[in-house]
Amino acid sequence: MTIRVTPIQTGWARMKAAQKCGQDGRGAFGRKLDIIRDTIWVGPFPILAWLVEHPEGRFVVDTGDTARNGTPGYLPWWNPFFRKMVQIKVAPVEEIGFQLHGMGIDPARDIAAVVLTHYHHDHTGGLDHFPHTRVIGPREGYQRARSFAGKVSGCLPQRWPTWFRPELVDLDGPAVGPFGRSHPLTRDGRVFLVPTPGHVAGHVAVVVRGEGVTYFLAGDATYAQDDLRAGRVDGVTADPAASLATLRAIAAFAADEPTVILPAHDPDGPRRLAAGEVFAPARPGSCVPVPA
């Protein structure tokens, strides 16, 4: 079987401009204040999950969001982030389970594992469709996602399925390029996790090495390839310095091997994937250089 990556869009999201791109020099707290004060909305942006087909099985990376987002009471009334700073729209048929069935894939029988890059609501909202499937997630950040701080920052552990007990993994494998650690997901080592912290603690990306090209499923390490290339850190980052270091590491990785960058909210990602368009760092003298 040829390794293949397929996008699955589970609705749309709009956000404040200050969330997509934070102001240089602002710390994590200041960036969040900027989002609250911002009056400019951007988007809509896709909420993307990914189907990875590999000789060892099919893997789903992130589960997207749920139509229940629009049900009164689903989102916590006390959290201003959900009430004033993000807008999510998902139709029931856009949920990942319905879409997999439309592709002739039964989520209960045909998926080897679901892999989470992190635990924000728009990456875990489709978990209900996988009650019989192995779910893998990074150990670091799991406890925080369940805490009050995690709930404030965009996690909804109170909405996770009652059966949700992810297989928590540590990135204790060898270095891969600029990434000091990794964790294999397949026996052949062609699908693996690398640490991409910043957006949240413990964030990971999924790397898929295909035939002659590598796919970098970036989660929310960056919102768009253009932001990555320009070294623009988002506004909800828990650690701007860590986020910037992650962007540099991703760019360095993609400079060493042909890589298609696939963030979870980049509207141009599916086109780049279909075209096999690999990442090219900005040339010297460009107006959007990757910071040195």
> How confident is the model at residue 83, as a pLDDT?
84
Higher pLDDT, 248 or 287: 248
Model confidence band, residue 287 (pLDDT cutoffs 50, 70, 90): very low
pLDDT (tens digit per residue) in 199-224: 999 999 999 999 999 999 999 999 99
Please determine, for residue 256, whether its predicted confidence score (pLDDT) is greater than 90.
yes
Read off the pLDDT of each residue in 116-128 and give the average, rounded to a whole number: 98
Higher pLDDT, 281 or 211: 211
Read off the pLDDT of each residue in 249-254 and give the average, rounded to a whole number: 98
Residue boundaries of the structural domains of the chain: 4-275
Our CA dihedral for 246, 218, 178, 227, rounded to 10 degrees, sits at: -50
Model confidence band, residue 1 (pLDDT cutoffs 50, 70, 90): low
Superfamily covering domain 4-275: Ribonuclease Z/Hydroxyacylglutathione hydrolase-like (3.60.15.10)
Model confidence band, residue 288 (pLDDT cutoffs 50, 70, 90): very low
CA distance 94 to 87: 16
Percent of the chain whose predicted confidence (pLDDT) is above 70: 96
Taken in order 195, 198, 199, 200, is the CA torsion positive or negative? positive
CA distance 227 to 250: 12
> How confident is the model at residue 281, as a pLDDT?
76
DSSP assigned state of 128: G
pLDDT (tens digit per residue) in 59-77: 999 999 999 999 999 999 9
The average confidence (pLDDT) of the chain is 94
Instruction: Give me the residue label for tokens 């990602």.
Output: 269
